[in-house]
């Protein structure tokens, strides 16, 4: 007869840190930051804290090979990822980025932040994220289409309008979403517009989607400034990142009377104490592809950006830009995070010590996923709203979400980041508790 199975270890003897080795927070960059943020909120979760480990373990991780024929006939291979962090509240939702430095820990962190973000705004989604390690500048449009279609096919077992819904992110756009939607539709045999959001309007996309994230950043910046007693009229604004989020945020703040004194993209930093001419700068960027060579401002070094004095600072570029060293140099009253994970936990603590208010990414840049939700709903009903309706609904939801977070921060005497995590984690874990474990 086979030997009897050993008795299970009592729970008290289980390893204190039983995460799989690839989820080790040490030296894992953004994923380590995310895990620290979760740990900080656990003491505020009460009985729900018994489920907190759920937040530290992505539900599914898929790593795929993406082979294509290059235009010259060679076969090239790219690595792709899709992480579904949590789907307790609904299908996975999160963008796809194409970048030469995409890594699995980065995508895991972005998926985790999407879980927090969708719950903080109270959308019926979970969190997911995807990426392909490719520099889009090194491939042709035809090659980019092949990468997109092969990547989408490899993810076929995960995607679906009720399972996982991608959207644009860094270096992806409406055209990439159109290719993804078409590939999925061809594979399932029926046009399925709701499988992605951020599509062209002619393919079921929503009006207002392109400016949604920047509009959300602007909305919460105005709300936070109001609580600080900081008038937007005449406020000095510095924006890192002049893509879809940073440029829209800067434009809307300038239209509201703010003075945008510094702007930075990946290669150039521009400064003008009197304020940049935003319409002219936007036109220059649209014509030339970046802000380099713009004559209406003084170019300064990239690192000097962090020494610019401002009232509102908007980091809208990449993760981990505000480090502890930079946090000690920043001169501002309000940081509104347009990018995902731009501030490290150590920098967060230092900014708090210096009495600089930080509006975290998981609430500040939720405008994009909010309008993605509107797009998803419109696709199911085949009834589409006007852009004014979209913007009004977006502003209302963002203001309501910010008000909830602000109230929790005041009640618990915690940062806005911890308050946002409290609100979101309670919603996620309450749903997890109600659903129970299967089987």
Query: What DSSP state is assigned to residue 278?
Result: H
Q: How far apart are CA 246 and CA 278, in angstroms?
A: 12
Give me the sheet containing 269-271, strands edge to edge.
Answer: 298-300, 269-271, 259-264, 236-240, 312-315, 334-336, 357-359
Q: How far apart are CA 330 and CA 129, in angstroms?
A: 31
Q: Are 428 and 119 a contacting pair, CB within 8 Å?
A: yes
- Reading the block at residue 51, the tokens are 């489920």
- Reading the block at residue 17, the tokens are 């840190």
Q: What angle do CA 414, 415, 420 make, to 5 degrees?
A: 100
With 0-12 / 13-18 / 19 or more C-beta atoms within 10 angstroms meaning exposed / middle / buried, residue 350 is buried
Q: What angle do CA 129, 133, 135 make, to 5 degrees?
A: 120
Give me the sheet containing 92-99, strands edge to edge.
Answer: 60-69, 75-86, 126-133, 92-99, 164-168
Task: Give yes or no: 129 in active site.
Answer: yes
User: In Å, how far from its chain's centre is CA 205?
Assistant: 19
Question: DSSP letters along 165-214, please?
Answer: EEEE-TT--HHHHHHHHHHHHHHHTS--GGG-SS--GGGTPPTT-TTHHH
Q: Is the dihedral of CA 419, 421, 427, 432 positive or negative?
A: negative
Q: Which residue in the list 93, 117, 129, 199 is annotated as catalytic? A: 129
Cβ atoms within 10 A of the Cβ of 63, count?
Answer: 12
Count helices and strands in the chain by DSSP H and E runs: 13, 12
Residues labelled as active-site residues: 129
């Amino acid at each position: 007869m086979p030997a009897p199975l050993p008795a299970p270890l009592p729970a008290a003897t289980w390893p204190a840190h039983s995460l799989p080795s690839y989820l080790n927070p040490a030296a894992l960059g953004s994923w380590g930051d995310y895990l620290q943020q979760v740990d900080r909120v656990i003491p505020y979760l009460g009985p729900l804290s018994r489920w907190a480990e759920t937040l530290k373990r992505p539900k599914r991780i898929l790593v795929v090979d993406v082979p294509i024929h290059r235009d010259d006939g060679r076969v090239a291979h790219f690595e792709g990822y899709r992480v579904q962090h949590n789907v307790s509240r609904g299908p996975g939702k999160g963008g796809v980025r194409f970048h030469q430095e995409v890594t699995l820990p980065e995508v895991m962190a972005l998926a985790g932040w999407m879980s927090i973000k969708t719950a903080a705004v109270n959308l019926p989604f979970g969190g997911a994220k995807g990426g392909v390690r490719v520099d889009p500048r090194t491939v042709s449009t035809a090659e980019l289409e092949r990468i997109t279609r092969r990547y989408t096919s490899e993810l076929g077992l995960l995607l679906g309008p009720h399972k996982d819904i991608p959207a644009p992110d860094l270096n992806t756009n409406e055209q990439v979403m159109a290719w993804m939607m078409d590939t999925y539709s061809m594979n399932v045999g029926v046009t399925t517009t709701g499988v992605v959001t951020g599509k062209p309007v002619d393919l079921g996309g929503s009006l207002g989607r392109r400016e949604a994230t920047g509009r959300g950043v602007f909305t919460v910046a105005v709300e936070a400034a109001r609580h600080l007693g900081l008038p937007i009229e005449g406020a000095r604004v510095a924006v890192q990142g002049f893509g879809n989020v940073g440029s829209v945020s800067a434009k809307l703040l300038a239209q509201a009377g703010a003075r945008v004194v510094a702007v930075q993209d990946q290669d150039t930093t521009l400064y003008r104490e009197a304020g940049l001419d935003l319409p002219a700068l936007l036109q220059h960027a649209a014509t030339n592809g970046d802000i380099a060579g713009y004559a209406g401002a003084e170019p300064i070094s990239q690192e000097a950006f962090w020494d610019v004095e401002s009232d509102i600072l908007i980091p809208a570029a990449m993760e981990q830009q505000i480090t502890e060293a930079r946090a000690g140099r920043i001169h501002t009253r309000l940081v509104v995070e347009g990018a995902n994970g731009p501030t490290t936990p150590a920098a967060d603590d230092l900014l708090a010590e210096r009495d600089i208010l930080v509006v975290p990414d998981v609430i500040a840049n939720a405008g994009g996923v909010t309008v993605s939700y509107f797009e998803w709903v419109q696709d199911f009903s085949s009834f589409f709203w006007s852009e004014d309706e979209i913007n009004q609904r977006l502003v209302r939801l963002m203001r309501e979400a910010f008000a909830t977070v602000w109230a929790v921060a005041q009640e618990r005497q915690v940062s806005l980041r911890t308050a946002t995590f409290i609100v979101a984690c309670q919603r996620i874990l309450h749903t997890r508790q109600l659903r129970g474990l299967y089987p």
